[in-house]
Structure 1
């Protein structure tokens, strides 16, 4: 009887601990996806010859995009990079409307072994900070 009682006492503490851990992991994941996004660094990378990839929809891309950008919607990023045989160490800047989709694309590329990918953030922000 005492073992069952001890398990019942420990279960709420374990559940709270797991919930707290889950919240922390989600926060770190969101921070990782929002990482980078410094317009100054983005423009330096672009000026140094980085491949510029707009990961928005073709319709958004048609309404305006960064100079020399190519359009690869974020859902297709890994497939298209493989099809285009883009080197895993190539300097790449990804951007979208707000930085969220480019954060996802960034993580997708890193998970495939790309080592020099930068989340440039949002299009409007980059255009307003262009030098």
Structure 2
């Protein structure tokens, strides 16, 4: 064995391994987000079919809420959940619809509320989408 021998590397091989890793990570990300998207689509379908009397919760910041919100929505920023809803007296078996600007925080809010024991939590996704759904489902 020649310890003094210099090992040369082919630059292409270094990137092939990196490319495979990036593809694997991208595939995993797509898989996870497609599952979340499917859950959100299911929630929207249930909202369209009509809920009894849901509590609509805007999980954006106070500043975002002040710039415009869905009529009747309560502002409970994501950082305060689930405590702020519990403090307000929302029961664990009440229907709760959460929404935000893009849908990311509403998905997180749904997870937090479900973990806290809320049973009927629906991800309304982005505010613009939920507004349309609510308008279409009005009698």
Match status 1:65 vs 2:63: no
Cα distance, 1:128–1:86 mapped onto 2, change above 3 Å: closer
* CA shift for structure 1 position 78: 1.0
Cα distance, 1:51–1:117 mapped onto 2, change above 3 Å: same
TM (normalized to structure 2)?
A: 0.66
**Rg comparison, structure with higher value:** 2
Per-residue Cα deviation, 1:95-119 (whole angstroms, up to 9, x for no partner): 0011110100000000011100000
- The runs of 5 or more residues in structure 1 that have no matched partner are 1-19
Point out which structure has higher relative CO (alpha carbons under 8 A, 6+ apart).
Answer: 1
Decide which of 15, 39, 58 is 1:54's aligned counterpart: 58
- For 1:116, the equivalent position in structure 2 comes to 120
RMSD: 2.8
* CA shift for structure 1 position 54: 0.3
- The runs of 5 or more residues in structure 2 that have no matched partner are 1-23
Aligned length: 112
**Distance in 2 between residues matched to 1:81 and 1:33, nearest whole Å:** 23
TM (normalized to structure 1)?
A: 0.69
- For 1:96, the equivalent position in structure 2 comes to 100
How do residues 7-86 of structure 1 correspond to structure 2 at under 5 angstroms? 30-31=33-34, 33-34=36-37, 35-37=39-41, 39=44, 41-45=46-50, 48-86=52-90
* CA shift for structure 1 position 44: 4.6
